[in-house]
Chains A and B, each alone.
Chain A
Amino acid sequence: MKFSLTWLKDHFETEATLSEITDALNAIGLEVEGVEDPAQRLSGFTVAKVLTAAKHPDADKLQVLTVDTGAGDPLQVVCGAPNARAGMVGVLGQPGAVVPSNGMELRKSAIRGVESNGMMCSVRELELGEDHDGIIELPDDAPVGHNFADYNGSSPVIDVAITPNRPDCMGVYGIARDLAAAGLGTLKPIAFPSFTASGACPVEIRTDDPEGCPAFFGRVITGVKNGPSPDWLQQRLVSAGQRPISLLVDLTNYLMLAFGRPAHVYDLAKLSGPVVARRAKDGEQVLALNEKTYALDDSIVVIADDAQVHDIAGIMGGEDSGVQDDTTDVLLEIAYFDPARIGVTGRKLGLASDARTRFERGVDPAFLQDGLDLLTGLIVELAGGTASETEQAGAAPSEAKVVSFDTGLTARLGGVEVPADEQRRILESLDFGVSDRWEVTCPLRRNDIEGPADLVEEVVRIHGLDAVESVALPRMEGVARPTATPEQQLERKLRRAAAGAGLNEAITWSFISENEAATVGGGHWTLENPISEELKVMRPSLLPGLLSALKRNLDRGGSSIRLFEIGRRYLADGEYPALVCVMAGEKTGRNWAQGKAVSFDAFDAKSVCLELLQAAGAPVQKLMVMDEAGDFYHPGQSATLRLGPKNVLASFGAIHPAMLDTFGIDVPVVACGIHLDAIPAKKAGGKGKGGASFARPSFTPPALQAVTRDFAFLVPDALAAGDLLRAVKGADKANIVDARVFDLFTGDGVADGQKSLAIEVTLQPQDKSYKDADLKAIADAIVAAAAKQGAELRG
């Protein structure tokens, strides 16, 4: 909330400077969000007197003035205002001053050939109001040469953020009280204008809903004269960012902004019968002061008369019974509403107001009659009229909370030693009652205090958090122990392996559009209140987000893009970690050595996939390459890697052209995805048997050299190379340590429906070298094993 320094000083006697005050506000938990000093904006504008005014020789609407600035020779100023005339006192902006309304710096200039040394200003140019019919006219006795900001009484405006637990500081007076407790000055007593109440309240006041509206106080004032508010009131409201409306309205706003106490004024002429706080009836409506109509229901407390609803209790008044300029008789309402119900109603209606903010946080239950008297006094003083007695219906909560406090808790929780008598002083200065035995009675307005920890906070914030010394956390003996879980270690390792493989790590939104989710089988979680249709469904896969990123990059002219992301996929039964890589465009650009650019293909995806699985510690040698990678892959150029037929660890391949089309991508894309949760964990380390340990299985490189033998097989086209390799490797497990395909050929010399696969087999002799007979036996076993797969050794 905003308030001017002048306003603060209405309630607070202090010698402190502005910066001391703002520092103190920050220190006690009333965070200063900004300070605006109109004096700074108005620097360079001074009170000046027009000595002479003559017609401009070349312009009908302009005059040439000589102006007394209070110092030195009079200045010549060209002015277009119709009210400029000799003898008047106004406001002069001299060269160098910046006009607040348009940010223009004034300069010495020539206007239609006549020198002008400044500008006489209008109210609007100085952002002091809307008036722009002429220049400002000051009283004749205004001190010529004086700084205009000073003369005008402009005062710095402080903007503080009030936390939801401190409704008592949602009025300037409450802020003054806190500052006084912090030792910055003295809180002045509230000045109640006196008035005489005569006669009973002519309107019956009632609360029919003691739960929603425990207290409803009212009073009638007859014979008031509404109109514009006096300057002091307007200035205060403007400093708070409120537009002055009329005296009666402004005074209720003043009560709220100065004392945190919302009130409402009804035009008595518009009311009929008793005025009652009650629940709305289903189907009732009210036209609120914001000119919107709200449909009400029986959970909402309203103020109504015999005819209609006049007020959404605690939130906003009704248009029909609002005061007008010609209003003469008014009913004042001061009530106490159940904070929780105000919050529910406000959320239900989607209606925010200054009153709601205060009521839902909790207004001071002890400031009903005082608030009413203060408002009455101000109205009678400024608008005249005769006040009735108060009619009180119900009563606000009056039972004060008592907390048994141990002053030692301040040190134990707050980490700072504060002497007991200082703790007492602080609490008492905030209106807490402190007994000899430290039974602390909380002021009713402090509904945030729940127990001793809250009192520690009061003491510590007023004493000063700067006094809290840093104290090292106790440290476990020795070197810090490892803390990362196996899952965290896996993620870290994979992340760095993927970056090491040349991929850039991206982070994409966890939510995607419904259409994008549909491409990967649909999402399980759809937001009720998404920020946009694009960010609506929790991703069941990381692929769509990465494809969208690819699309953006291709649109920006990217030609070779490698991205990966490690993140969660959100499935019906929970959130699971995944890694997805996408590679689009050119694997290698055209170049002098190889010529044409080479695009990524499914084997690039396979290569990355296996490299990452290897890094993850997955048993890569045991993985089976199987199909069914998913509909978003190219059906003939994709596969899954499985550990056993059902346990899918990863998938890889080219993305389906239809999928790319959906994302507007027109270059081939290959991808791989790894389900981190499917990778078997290493057995836990530690004391248990069979756990992972640092020591490796023992190993000595064989003394004898390995030998290689090549085999070329003719096999049916449909036979997977992997199946042949597995058969070959299995032919003699003692001697064959590796086998790899080094040639694949179809065409001349190979019959239709067949292909030639050449395999290099590595044999490792153990304790003695191979003899011809040994090698022949192994070769025979290999050929026999291959034959079972339908392979025939090529002659």
Chain B
Amino acid sequence: MTELTSQKDASLAAIGAATTLDALEEQRVGALGKKGWVSLALKTLGQMSPDERKEAAPAIQAVRGEVAAAIEAKKAALEGAALEAQLASETIDLTLPAPSVPQGSIHPVSQVMDELAEIFADLGFAVATGPEIEDDWHNFTALNMDESHPARAMHDTFYFPDTAEDGGKLLLRTHTSPVQIRSMKAQGAPIRIIAPGRVYRSDSDATHTPMFHQVEGLVIDRDIHLGHLKWTLETFFKAFFEREDITLRLRPSYFPFTEPSVEFDVGYANEGNRRVVGGHGDDEGHDWMELGGSGMVNRRVLEFAGVDPDEYQGFAFGLGIDRIAMLKYGMNDLRAFFDGDPRWLSHYGFSPYDQPTLSAGVGVKS
């Protein structure tokens, strides 16, 4: 048996020394192959007596097992080392840039319009639209501004040479208020709508552009009064700016299409170069900022729109969308809104996944 033992020791030593899978295979064939010494030793068992065999077999089997295990272990080790070496050779510089994916953006005006729609939907307002190329009747006459009305001159209207069917001039709507008339004519009362959209005034300087965006609000029902208007504006501004400390101030004013008419201001604080909405305008470091006009719809307007003013009454308001977008998101140049500069659009625009929802808050914090 000493021969078997010495063969085993020699074989284990050679397996241990193998540095390649080929050398290892050579050892396997030499030991476990058909003509290998382990196989030859196993063959000797057939010539033995049962007693001899009983004694010799376990020893040979044990040697066979030991050698086989050593080969397996060495094979795994060599394969592992080979893989490691291969992977090491495949190392790449991951500080190199990955392919870039272009990031699109939503324009702040669109985002804010979606915010408006979301907030006002919760208050039961639908979104109405109307033409931008309007006729004189809808833009002025039906809003209680007849031909000679001095307020007309304040509108800086863009006119077309074309005339409407009724002979009135066609023009670019100077406000979203004609949508009030069209909506009431189409669906009567009661009604709750907002009407956001483009409006036009022949005016252009640092803070005015000839095209801008306005949103109109209209509520007509049986018992609507100024208190409802105040609540609606307060509630909207609280939701829009996501602040509970919004303070609204109503001031008497004049619009031909409302009576009584009020302008609304909100309190704000100057923080750095920015106006931050919130707080009472008379408080230290605060002031008031006019945000829009409103009032109880003039009964003549209701009559023009085919609504019985003895049965229905309500309020309307209008405010600048670009303006409240600037206040909320901190832009300071209105002209940049309409320039189409991707650098500005990327900076002030919004991710397509920022769809305003009430549950997440309609606004997007930076």
Contacts and interface: CB of A to CB of B under 8 A. Distances in A.
Given A31-B251, A453-B259, A505-B110, A553 B161 contact: no
B114 interface: yes
B341 interface: yes
A405 B299 CA distance: 15
A57 interface: no
A611 B338 CA distance: 26
A454 B228 contact: no
- Which of A31, A488, A531, A566: most chain B CB closer than 10 A? A531
Contacts of B151: 164
The 5 closest A-B pairs by CB, nearest first: A29-B252, A549-B340, A502-B102, A415-B227, A163-B254
Contact of B161 (A482, A526, A545): A526
Nearest to B251: A26
A592 interface: yes
Contact of B231 (A340, A343, A472, A529): A472
Given A469-B227, A482-B121, A453 B150 contact: no
B147 to A, nearest CB: 8
Contact of B150 (A360, A456, A480, A561): A360
Nearest to A500: B352
A476 B127 contact: no
Contacts of B337: 507
Contact of A527 (B150, B160, B299, B349): B160
A473 B299 contact: no
B339 A549 contact: yes
Contacts of B102: 502-503, 560, 562
A415 B228 contact: yes
Nearest to A563: B340
A429 interface: no
**Majority secondary structure of chain B interface residues (helix, strand, loop or mixed):** mixed
Interface in A556-589: 556, 558, 560-568, 570, 574-575, 588
Contacts of B235: 472
A529 B117 CA distance: 34
Q: For this complex, into which size category does the number of interface residues on chain A fall?
A: 35 or more
Contact of A453 (B101, B127, B210, B298): B298
A480 B254 contact: no
B51 to A, nearest CB: 62
A470 B259 CA distance: 18
B168 interface: no
Nearest to A23: B282
Given A415-B226, A465-B226, 4 more contacts: A506-B340, A527-B160, A531-B204, A558-B342
B325 to A, nearest CB: 11
Contact of A470 (B106, B224, B230): B230
Contacts of A485: 126-127
B89 interface: no
Interface in B89-106: 96-97, 99-106
Interface string A681-720: 0000000000000000000000000000000000000000
A459 to B, nearest CB: 9
Contact of B352 (A416, A496, A527): A496
A460 B133 contact: no
Interface string A495-510: 1111111111111111
A538 interface: yes
Interface stretch (A366-374, A406-414, A727-735, A757-765): A406-414
A538 B132 CA distance: 10
B150 A164 contact: yes
A451 interface: yes
26 contacts: A163-B254, A344-B148, A415-B230, A448-B254, A460-B252, A470-B234, A471-B225, A471-B228, A472-B231, A473-B231, A482-B121, A483-B117, A483-B127, A498-B104, A499-B104, A499-B349, A505-B104, A505-B345, A507-B107, A508-B340, A525-B160, A527-B172, A531-B202, A574-B131, A575-B131, A592-B97
A185 B106 CA distance: 55
Interface string A161-175: 001111000000000
A40 interface: no
A164 B121 contact: no
Interface of A: 26-29, 31, 163-166, 339-340, 343-344, 347, 360-361, 411-416, 448, 450-451, 453-454, 456-457, 460-461, 465-466, 468-476, 480-485, 488, 492, 495-511, 525-531, 535, 538, 545-546, 549-550, 552-553, 556, 558, 560-568, 570, 574-575, 588, 591-593
B106 A457 contact: no
B351 interface: yes
Interface string B156-191: 001111100000001010000000000000000000
A165 B254 contact: yes
A112 B284 CA distance: 47
Given A29-B252, A31-B263, A497 B352 contact: yes
Given A29-B254, A347-B153, A502-B104, A460 B234 contact: no
B345 A506 contact: yes
Interface in B103-157: 103-107, 109-110, 114, 117, 120-127, 131-133, 148-151, 153-154
Given A164-B154, A483-B125, A504-B349, A592 B159 contact: no
Nearest to A462: B252
Contacts of A535: 210
B251 A465 contact: yes
Contacts of A474: 221
B227 A470 contact: yes
B215 interface: no
B160 A468 contact: no
B262 interface: yes
B230 A468 contact: yes
B232 interface: yes
Given A483-B117, A483-B126, A507-B338, A27 B251 contact: yes
Contacts of B100: 588
B266 interface: no
B27 interface: no
Interface in B293-348: 296, 298-300, 313, 337-342, 345-346
Interface in B240-255: 249-254
Contacts of B192: 473
A26 B250 CA distance: 10
A344, A498, A507, A556 — most chain B CB neighbours (10 Å): A507
B107 to A, nearest CB: 4
A62 to B, nearest CB: 44
B226 A527 contact: no
B361 interface: no
Of B121, B204, B259, chain A has the most CB atoms within 10 Å of the CB of B259
Contacts of B349: 499, 504-505
A503 B351 CA distance: 11
Contacts of B227: 415-416, 468-471
Contacts of B355: 492, 496
B124 A480 contact: yes
Contact of A562 (B104, B148, B251): B104
B208 to A, nearest CB: 10
B117 A488 contact: yes
A561 B342 CA distance: 7
B340 A413 contact: no
Contacts of A475: 123-124
B55 interface: no
Contacts of B170: 525
B252 A461 contact: yes
B198 interface: yes
B232 A528 contact: no
Contact of B121 (A343, A480, A505): A480
Contacts of B106: 495-496, 499, 505
B338 A509 contact: yes
B133 A575 contact: yes
Given A531-B210, A535-B210, A473 B117 contact: no
A456 to B, nearest CB: 6
Contacts of A526: 160-161
